[in-house]
Structure 1
Amino acid sequence: MTLDWYQTLFEIIDMRSFSNLWFWIVLAVVWSTASHWVLGVPYDMVLRAKRYGEDAQVDLEDMVRINVNRLLYIGRVSGLWMAGFACFFLTMLLLLGFVYHNEFAQAVFLLALPLSMVGMLSLSTARIIEAENSSGEILFKRMNRHRLYTQIIGMVSIFVTALWGMYQNMSLGPLGG
């Protein structure tokens, strides 16, 4: 009797995405991180500036200005190319996942599509902040609104991913169908 290590490994460790604990941990970490870093600025910095004012507010405004300028520069210089590559990548994942039934591509698509929406939201918020030269209460409002929208996108994404993952797990069964 020969022992097939490859088969044994795949029987012990389920390599399908939606039944793998690591996928769900990654999903939680991704959305936790996305809602904590608002335009590249940690949200605790926004709260500290709102609470203490003065130096903390100056630090926040400087950090937001730096990140807004960085985002807008990247968008202006290579935004069209990045949008083209992102659309290609998302389309490839969509086709591989939902036409050719590759579960890993489905999982990556369900992570990448909502994150690309957050990226577009970040670019839009950066443009608004630059246009109105936001500071003080207006900046707090913009940052809070951006975080709220990111959290809403994240909640919808997690809900849809959980529904799809449960459907996949129930329809394929424990051995991958």
Structure 2
Amino acid sequence: MTGFDLDWYQTLFEFIDMRSFSNLWFWIALAVVWSTTSHYGLGVPFDMVLRAKRQGGQAETDLEDLVRINTNRLLFITQMSGLWIAGFACFFLTMLSLLGFVYGVEFAQALILLGFPLSLVGMLSISTARLIQEEDARGETLRKRLMRHRIYTQIIGMISIFITALWGMYQNLSVGPLAG
């Protein structure tokens, strides 16, 4: 290899940092995940909730139908294979926690800081779907449930982003720039 090739590879790997918390793509993915998660509560876009509140009529019917379809689907999956999903999720979250915080694998730390709060949102979604189905929520009651679900999701997201940012800054300051 010539000196130019080595410089090119070094420059490329400095630009595309392979560590998670100093990688711009991780932070973009984190923002997109939480933005999407808070916009689509129970698989229902939030603009549909606002449109149903403003317009009523067909928009309200569409919202109720979409919520009914998504809550029935979510509760069916939970009833049929919820224990298996919970078991695998706990296994993977535990594995990531051990790899990340016991063995110091930064990629696993990034995944657990993203995955654990999303698992909380998943449990919140199951709880909200059950409440909607038990109440047979419609109209104003349904919109209030979806709004509350969105607010709780945003709170979980804000706390998650804050903790991830603190841990990422700590990692970047403690590891320092890559030795070259």
Same fold (TM over 0.5): yes
Query: Is 1:171 paired with 2:147?
Result: no
Identify unmatched segments of 5+ residues in structure 1.
none
Distance 1:11 1:20 in 2: 10
**Matched ranges for 1:112-123 at <5 A:** 112-123=115-126
**Matched ranges for 1:1-177 at <5 A:** 2=2, 3-4=5-6, 8=10, 9-175=12-178
Identify unmatched segments of 5+ residues in structure 2.
none
The 1:176–1:119 alpha-carbon spacing in structure 2 relative to 1, beyond 3 Å, is farther
1:20-61 deviation line (CA, Å, top 9, x unaligned): 000000000000000000100000000000000011000000
Q: Give the TM-score normalised by structure 1.
A: 0.95
Tell me the CA shift for residue 12 of structure 1.
3.8
| Amino acid across the alignment from 1:152 | I
Distance 1:145 1:27 in 2: 22
Identity %: 72
The 1:161–1:83 alpha-carbon spacing in structure 2 relative to 1, beyond 3 Å, is same
RMSD: 1.7
Distance 1:47 1:73 in 2: 27
